């Protein structure tokens, strides 16, 4: 009784082998070979040598900049909040815990109102594009506009309550390739004011002085009538938007040249 399964297995293997041989024989019988012939007057066409052609411009910003360094627009200043960010817990002065939740970012709100339209102060866009054009390097905006929720989430300190990030009048950034040389970026910004025709014969714009009062940075800030420049070292100004390891520059708008009036924090401008 034990021998029967062995013979059954042997018989099945033998049948499979015969079936395989039959299949190969059928393939050989059906195989048809044909000669490939050509006439004496036929010849092969040589492949043409590829010619270099410039890439066509498909987007408006590629006309002024390049694909790798697009021209900075107001959209680059969108709030960096995200509903995916976890809740943050801070201890208040009375010893209790305060919970901070982030906003939904640009999908939940836009930019603040500047000159009756949604946007940021134009001088910020002008300066950052000037840096990109001059250095041929990308400007990385780490913090542009902040809504109330994201501003509190990023930095809940009292000094930050009236941040000009809230009204589109402040930007934090660094330049790729110049991360460890922020002083050169400051020099280029001041040079912009010295050479731009708009500021000719206006020394209050074309020249800078140093801020002499106490501030939260070791390097005394620079200021003219229109802007205020802060240089944050590697161990300064670290908030939720500036968690990178580089020094960075913050520019605040002090004066609105279009309306001819100072730029100050106002609740009605916040959104």
pLDDT at residue 67, as a whole number: 47
Residue closest to 139 by CA, chosen among 186, 187, 190, 173: 173
pLDDT at residue 64, as a whole number: 52
For residue 264, being part of any structural domain is answered with yes
For residue 230, being part of any structural domain is answered with yes
For residue 12, being part of any structural domain is answered with no
Distance from C-alpha of 198 to C-alpha of 179, rounded to nearest angstrom:
30
For residue 141, being part of any structural domain is answered with yes
pLDDT at residue 65, as a whole number: 47
Beta bridge partners of 170: 252
Full residue range of the structural domain in which residue 145 is found? 67-269
What is the number of domains present in the chain? 1
For residue 116, being part of any structural domain is answered with yes
For the entire predicted model, the pTM comes to 0.74
pLDDT at residue 218, as a whole number: 96
pLDDT means per 10 residues, the chain with 271 residues, are 56 56 72 72 74 67 61 97 93 85 95 94 98 96 97 93 96 97 98 97 97 95 98 96 97 96 83 61
């Amino acid at each position: 009784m034990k021998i029967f399964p062995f013979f059954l297995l042997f018989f099945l293997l033998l049948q499979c082998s015969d079936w395989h041989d039959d299949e190969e024989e059928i393939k050989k019988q059906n195989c048809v070979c044909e000669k490939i012939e050509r006439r004496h007057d036929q010849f092969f066409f040589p492949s043409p040598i590829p010619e270099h052609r410039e890439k066509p411009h498909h987007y408006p910003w590629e006309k002024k900049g390049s694909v790798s360094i697009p021209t900075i627009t107001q959209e680059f200043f969108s709030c960096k909040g995200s509903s995916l960010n976890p809740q943050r817990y801070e201890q208040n002065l009375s010893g209790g815990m305060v919970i901070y939740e982030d906003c939904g970012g640009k999908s939940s709100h836009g930019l603040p109102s500047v000159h009756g339209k949604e946007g940021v102060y134009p001088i910020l866009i002008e300066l950052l594009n000037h840096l990109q054009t001059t250095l041929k390097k990308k400007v990385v905006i780490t913090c542009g506009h902040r809504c109330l929720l994201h501003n509190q989430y990023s930095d809940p300190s009292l000094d930050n309550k009236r941040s000009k990030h809230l009204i589109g009048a402040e930007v934090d950034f660094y330049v790729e390739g110049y991360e460890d040389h922020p002083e050169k970026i400051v020099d280029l910004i001041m040079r912009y004011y010295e050479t731009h025709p708009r500021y000719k014969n206006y020394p209050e714009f074309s020249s800078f002085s140093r801020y002499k009062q106490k501030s939260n940075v070791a390097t005394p800030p620079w200021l003219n009538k229109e802007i205020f420049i802060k240089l944050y070292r590697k161990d300064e100004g670290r908030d939720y938007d500036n968690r990178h390891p580089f020094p960075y520059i913050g520019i605040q708008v002090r004066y609105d040249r279009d309306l001819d009036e100072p730029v100050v924090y106002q609740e009605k401008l916040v959104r």
